[in-house]
Amino acid sequence: MTPEPVAPTPAWVCAPGVRRVPFLSAFLPEYALSAAPGPDTAAVMGWGLKRTAAAGRAWARARAIPYVALEDGFLRSVGLGETGAASLSLIVDDLGVYYDATRPSRLETLILEAPDWMTPALEARARALIDRIVESGVSKTNMGGPLDRSLLQPGRRRVLVVDQTLGDASIEYGLASTASFEAMVAAALADEPDAQILVKRHPAVAAGRKQGCIGPGALDRVTLIDADVRPADLLAEVDAVYTVTSLLGFEALLRGLPVRCFGAPFYAGWGLTRDEVDTGRRGLPRSLEAIAAAALLRYSRYVDPVTGRPCEAEAALERLIALRDRADRLAGFTAAVGFAPWKHAPVRRLLNSPKGAVRYFASPDRAARAAKRHSGRVIYWAARESEAFLAGLSGFDGPVLRMEDGFIRSRGLGSDFFGALSVSLDDLGVYYDATAPSRLEVLLETAAFPEARLARAAALRERIVGARLSKYNLPSEGDAFTAWPADRERVLVVGQVENDKSILKGCADIRTNSALVAAARDAHPDAFLIFKNHPDVLAGNRPGRLGPEALDAVDALADRLDIVDCLDHVDVLATMTSLSGFEALLRGRRVETWGRPFYAGWGLTHDRLDFPRRSRRLTLDQLVAGALIDYPIYVSALTGWPCEVEDVLDQLDAARASEAPVRPTGRVARFLKGVAASLDRRPPPAY
């Protein structure tokens, strides 16, 4: 029999700030959360042991119901909680809280009981998680920059002493005090007289938001690291770690470093650390895998911010790695120029980084001056490039990147003001300009593609084909392909916008849709020739209609048909530079090119032009890995969070169950849609 569903426990969230925690209901599915207590309230929730929850704790004690402490988990975010960054993990403790060593917590109980629940499979899972954390270099928060190696004294042993924020609850409840920090520094100097002693400030102290515990008088004979540094960089350079209760001690244990504790953090007292404080309750030896499994797999809860759904620790870790890498890629100041006002909001979401800032400028020279002033970069919409535009950037010698739509863009046309879910950022050129190398071309020509990446690309290709997805994902408005003859070769000729930069920069003699039709007819005199207008041309937004002679050479039009439906019913696709050639390759169709698109010249297409720079022969999965995984960046249509290509595919596939987006028709409707898009002021999420 199927068990009856358990009704959620009514719980009063006693602090308004806690009720604003992103994804709170997803973290706590077993509770029915309310903003006020009621007669059926069976639990009270607050943030740890903060004063904001004092009234709630007293209310719970008076009624003999549990107070449930919430706190950030140990794999939290890229940015700091003090700046509003949403957490990917949360701890839920109905006994105490992990940093309170004055009494048991749910985490301490889990570690004590580890022999009862620690299976070989869970131990292996914990070991793999530890290895991935160490390999990736992620931390609880990940705002730190690279270590300034000039601070390191070569040839000397190094000991790291970890400062914390003044007033941090984990200090008092960890059976320590500010005096513990002075004792820690003194002990490090006495224990290691020949070592370089490095004192690391907390990130919130380095950011100027809080005060540290180690005063200036204790900093003689030490090297102060007073900047937010990546913990992995620092831990890789030291031989031992001294801490009071900092989580950095746990991260040091994960890396096999000896750790001495001057307080009682959750990972102390189990035989893995040298301890100055005894809680009186621990003392049983536990393996690193057991502590990691308890803290990361059983005690912490995780929510994927892109989907808004609970997930496992491994999935949260991979998401955090991807967010950290995106934040690093887009760190610093960005001067954006050449963007239509309606693109500002979607582009700001695509360029969102807790380590960066984006400002828009009306002219390239102003953008260049601002980028130079802030030691930043210039990003511009590639189609706006001209001699005059580039002249405005000529005085800037910093990074300049061109932006273009990605290859899986949206549900709807950009010319109809539907924002892109993916873009490419190219510091060398742009993928459609075959006159010069692009970052994508260099990547495809030179990159190593590990087996794991190729397996991901193969799964991605199968997902795209199986879900019948394309760049714009517009629905078919008919089924004319059912009348196409089966006894003749069927050739689909794909029209393009004739003033598109990919034609101007990637074609030779054949530069119009009419010329392409004539060339395809010459190459396939007996074929059933089908022509499909570009959606922007069909919508009347851009030029590219066929002339009468070309129309006479065509056997059928596919204007109202989805490109995926067309590809299912043809043998050959003929194109100048259209992305539909790439989509046809994914589906195993023969592709003939009369231009130089990014996917041609690698041995996968039948090309009418040469490709002097492209000497490598690629597999289809290598092409997919470069073009869809490594080159673009993606953003979630649902949450605005940075995401991966698989997330965008999931969202586009799920959107098919809803009504297709309404296209603006007529000048007034188009004007109003553009104005509405230009007024979008939604801030990107803090991560």
Euclidean distance between CA atoms 439 and 316, whole angstroms: 30
Euclidean distance between CA atoms 632 and 493, whole angstroms: 27
- Residue 585 has φ and ψ, to the nearest 5°, of -60, -40
Euclidean distance between CA atoms 132 and 517, whole angstroms: 53
Q: Is the pTM of the predicted complex or chain greater than 0.85?
A: yes
Q: In what order do the strands lie in the sheet with 240-243?
A: 223-225, 196-200, 158-162, 240-243, 259-261, 274-275
Predicted confidence at residue 170, as pLDDT, reads 95
DSSP codes joined into one string, 351-388: T--TTEEEEEESSHHHHHHHHHHTT-EEEEEGGG--HH
**Alpha-carbon radius of gyration of the chain:** 30
Q: Which CATH architecture has domain 116-303?
A: 3-Layer(aba) Sandwich (3.40)
Euclidean distance between CA atoms 71 and 74, whole angstroms: 9
Fold match between 116-303 and 451-655?
A: yes
Tokens 């949403």, located at residue: 86
Buried-exposed string 283-293: b where 16+ CB fall within 10 A, e elsewhere: eeebbbbbbbb
The domains of the chain are located at: 116-303, 321-446+664-678, 451-655
Predicted confidence at residue 381, as pLDDT, reads 95
The total of other beta-carbon atoms located within 10 Å of residue 664's CB is 17
CA distances from 204 to 82, 210, 514, 673 (A): 8, 6, 63, 43
What secondary structure letter does DSSP report for 137?
Answer: T
Consecutive 10-residue averages of pLDDT for the chain (687 residues):
80 96 97 96 97 96 97 94 90 98 98 97 98 96 92 96 95 97 97 97 83 91 93 96 98 98 98 97 96 98 96 98 96 96 92 96 97 98 93 95 89 58 95 96 97 97 91 65 90 94 93 96 97 82 81 91 91 96 97 98 98 97 98 93 95 75 62 65 85
CATH 3.40.50 fits 451-655, yes or no: yes
Predicted confidence at residue 473, as pLDDT, reads 61
C-alpha closest to that of 633 among 642, 641, 624: 642
Three-class SS of 419-459: CCCEEEEECCCCCCCCCCCCHHHHHHHHCCCCHHHHHHHHH
Euclidean distance between CA atoms 109 and 101, whole angstroms: 12
Predicted confidence at residue 681, as pLDDT, reads 75
